[in-house]
Amino acid sequence: MVLHAIFSGRVQGVGFRKFVKKKADEVGVKGFVKNLPDGTVEVLAEADEETLKTFFELIKQGPPLANVEDVKYEFLEKEGGFDEFKIEY
């Protein structure tokens, strides 16, 4: 299963990607996090449904310096084919 999420608000320049990577490594999620040109942050994560829901709960507020105003997300029944979780630039 895959979680696709787009975080908006004050989410760039506040350690958001590093925070998401740390949480992904803690729970065993694979995929990526990256800044998008419009100022949002995209997360694509792959794991079983329970792990993804736990991961989402951990990251939905972001790190202390972030101000997440909105999160658009969906859980998809598909494989992402990832072998690790990484920060993309």
Q: Which residue among 8, 12, 35, 54 is the active-site one?
A: 35
| Catalytic annotation present for 67 | no
Q: Which residue among 2, 11, 17, 59 is the active-site one?
A: 17
Q: What is the DSSP string of the chain?
A: -EEEEEEEEE-SSSSHHHHHHHHHHHHT-EEEEEE-TTS-EEEEEES-HHHHHHHHHHHTT-STT-EEEEEEEEEESS----SSEEEE-
- Cα torsion 10, 14, 16, 19: sign: negative
> Which positions are annotated as active-site residues?
17, 35
